[in-house]
């Protein structure tokens, strides 16, 4: 069996449009999977589920079954450089092994760090925002 292609990165505007479309339901029409671990502080994307990257390998088969009917999955971590892409790739491989189509699996470019920079002032796009967490030390 061949390895599926790596999931594609998408810009935040793609996900933003889905969240703002009130005809779309998180968990049914799309799902945001936040794989941050202890660093999931300072805010999150509304409707996202937190599946810490450390727990994902053990939970993966059950999660792939649970969310099999969700047509669009968006993965992210803090920066979407390591954990988010790795989780998306593992998920994609598990979907393909089950005979499914993994083309609906995407990675949020820039992760939550970029998302909060762009959308921190919109309570419809960031929940539990803690500004002091995002203050940069120089």
Q: What is the Cα–Cα distance from 34 to 37, expressed in whole angstroms?
A: 9
Q: What is the Cα–Cα distance from 137 to 107, expressed in whole angstroms?
A: 28
Other beta carbons within 10 Å of 50: 13
Catalytic residue among 31, 77, 107, 108: 77
37 is annotated as an active-site residue: no
Helix, strand or coil, per DSSP, at residue 19:
helix
Q: What is the Cα–Cα distance from 36 to 82, expressed in whole angstroms?
A: 11
Enumerate the active-site residues. Answer: 77
């Amino acid at each position: 069996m061949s390895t599926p292609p790596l999931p594609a990165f998408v810009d935040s505007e793609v996900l933003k449009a889905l969240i703002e479309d009130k005809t779309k339901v998180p968990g049914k029409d799309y799902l945001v999977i936040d794989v941050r671990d202890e660093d999931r502080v300072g805010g999150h994307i509304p409707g996202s589920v937190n599946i810490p990257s450390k727990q994902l390998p053990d939970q993966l088969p059950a999660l792939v079954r649970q969310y099999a009917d969700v047509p669009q999955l968006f993965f992210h971590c803090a920066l979407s450089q390591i954990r988010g892409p790795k989780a998306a790739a593992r998920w994609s491989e598990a979907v393909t092994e089950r005979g499914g189509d993994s083309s609906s699996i995407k990675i949020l470019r820039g992760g939550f760090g970029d998302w909060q920079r762009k959308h921190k002032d919109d309570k419809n796009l960031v929940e539990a925002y803690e500004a002091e967490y995002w203050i940069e030390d120089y």
